[in-house]
Amino acid sequence: RLRDTPEDICFEATANAIALHPARPLLAAGDVDGDVYLYSYSCTQGENRQLWSSGHHLKSCRDVAFSQDGQKLLTVSKDKSIHVLTVEEGRLETRFPKAHGSALNCVLPIDTHLFATGDDDGGLKVWDLRKGDAVLEARQQEEYISAMAVDGNGKILLTASGDGTLGVFNVKRRRFDLLSEPQNGDLTSVVLLKRGKKVACGSSEGTIYLFNWDGFGAASDRFALRAESVDCMVPITDSIVCVGSLDGVIRS
């Protein structure tokens, strides 16, 4: 029987992070026990399948992300490690055991070889899988890095932080560019809109802040939602974004 949406996938422990494969009906999730799962999903009833699980992290898995070619899964953990797993088998291919000095919070693929990680103390690193090491290290923000976004050219990296600022880094030139003015509350999420001309940041106060691409110093606009917080955002079209909140409601 066909459904409008796939059936719910239930985990034994709370899932911290999920990611959808760029080309196939696959969903990856990381939970508070440090386990990582890969599922295939379908709108046909009873067709969701767990393909593999990985228990290599010693503490909570905070974020998961598929590489741009969809062949690898990047995971980061409270245990300060980064794992690179093969999507087909869930085999641990590369491990950075003490990647940061603090617990890791988020990971973002930049291109085929580069990816960025942010930690609980505002630290950012950009890694090159070819070198097996970090090629950019910075600590410009005072609180945890909650989320990151990169432009279509893989040149400008944006970091949202718990100190209320948006950080701007030039990946190509391996340098820090600027910080925005602090906004009210923690910045919890960051996405690109309007074909990269606008940037939206969600906050713990339930406000979405808009920045112009050439004006990161100060927000150009703000929208207060009827939500106690904005915890995550996913752009659906160039001008529509879905927002998840602590009250369990998804708004758009």
**In Å, how far are 51, 96, 187, 191 from 208, measured between CA atoms?**
37, 34, 9, 11
DSSP string, 14-29: -EEEEEE-SSSSEEEE
Query: Tokens 């995550």 correspond to what residue?
Result: 232
User: For every one of its 252 residues, what pLDDT tens digit does the chain have, with 9 covering 90 and above?
Assistant: 899 999 999 999 999 999 999 999 999 999 999 999 999 999 999 999 999 999 999 999 999 999 999 999 999 999 999 999 999 999 999 999 999 999 999 999 999 999 999 999 999 999 999 999 999 999 999 999 999 999 999 999 999 999 999 999 999 999 999 999 999 999 999 999 999 999 999 999 999 999 999 899 999 999 999 888 999 999 999 999 999 999 999 999
Q: Looking at the domain that runs over 1-99, which CATH code has it been given?
A: 2.40.128.630
Rounded Cα–Cα distance for residues 215 and 194 (Å): 15
pTM of the model: 0.96
What is the number of alpha carbons within 13 Å of residue 14 lying toward its C-beta?
5
Please report the pLDDT score of residue 135 as a whole number. 97
Topology annotation, domain 103-251: Methylamine Dehydrogenase; Chain H (2.130.10)
d(CA 18, CA 205): 23
CB 169, CB 156: distance < 8 Å = yes
Tell me the one-letter amino acid at 245: S
Decide if 1-99 and 103-251 have a common fold.
no
Instruction: Encode 129-154: b = buried (16+ Cβ within 10 Å), e = exposed.
Output: beeeebebebbbbeebbbbbbbeeee
What φ, ψ does residue 162 adopt, rounded to 5°?
-65, -10
Q: In angstroms, what is the C-alpha Rg of the chain? A: 18
Give the pLDDT confidence score for residue 77 in this predicted structure: 98
Domain chopping of the chain, boundaries = 1-99, 103-251
